[in-house]
Amino acid sequence: MATATYPPPPPYYRLYKDYVQDPESAPEPPPPIEGTYICFGGSYTTSDVLPSLEEQGVRQLYSKGPNIDFKKELRSLNGELQLHILELADILIERPSQYARRVEEISTVFKNLHHLLNSLRPHQARATLIHILELQIERRKQAAEDINRRREEARRILNESLATLDGH
């Protein structure tokens, strides 16, 4: 059986040789990237702003403004999507060569649905974080109760042991 050793550490490990004695001797980490950057051929930005549908070149099918009723708009777009799919099925049966316009309309509805759902992501993230923190609080309370219960049990056993020793 052939075995291989681990590869040697990268050469920059020497920069950290005195870290235990002097933590200031290590180089500072690089500054965070700001603005746009390219990764695997794609251009990305560090700002977490959801671009509007107009910026993406898509016609917005739901009402604009800060007070959007997401539930109503999602239901409306879902109904519209179902209608377009049924119309596409009819067109494919009756006039198969004219399907492209319906497919484009379905694509627009899907893009609007996705944009509405993506605009709810910050709320979802907050709700998930709140849920995780509540679970952590509950687990810590249970751990504290368990510690108190075990402490009381240990005290009881100790008191019984002392009473047994005093009785003899």
- The pLDDT assigned to 73 comes to 94
Q: What is the CA radius of gyration of the chain?
A: 32
Give the pLDDT of residue 47.
82
Question: What range defines the domain where residue 115 resides?
Answer: 66-145
Tally of structural domains, the chain: 1
Whether residue 113 contacts residue 61, with contact meaning beta carbons closer than 8 Å, is answered with no
Domain assignment present for 23: no
**Is 152 a member of any domain?**
no
Sign of the CA dihedral running 116, 65, 104, 90: positive
Q: What is the pLDDT of residue 1?
A: 62
Residue 3 covered by a domain: no
Intervals of the chain under pLDDT 70: 1-2, 168
Q: How far apart are CA 27 and CA 46, in angstroms?
A: 24
Residue 108 lies in a domain: yes
> pLDDT value at position 168?
67
Phi, psi at 43, each rounded to 5° = -95, 130
Q: Do the domain assignments include residue 93?
A: yes
The sign of the CA dihedral 109, 78, 128, 68 is positive
Q: What is the pLDDT of residue 2?
A: 64
The pTM (predicted TM-score) of the whole model is 0.62
- CA pair distance 55, 68, nearest whole angstrom: 19
Residue 102 covered by a domain? yes
Confidence at residue 115, expressed as pLDDT on a 0 to 100 scale: 95
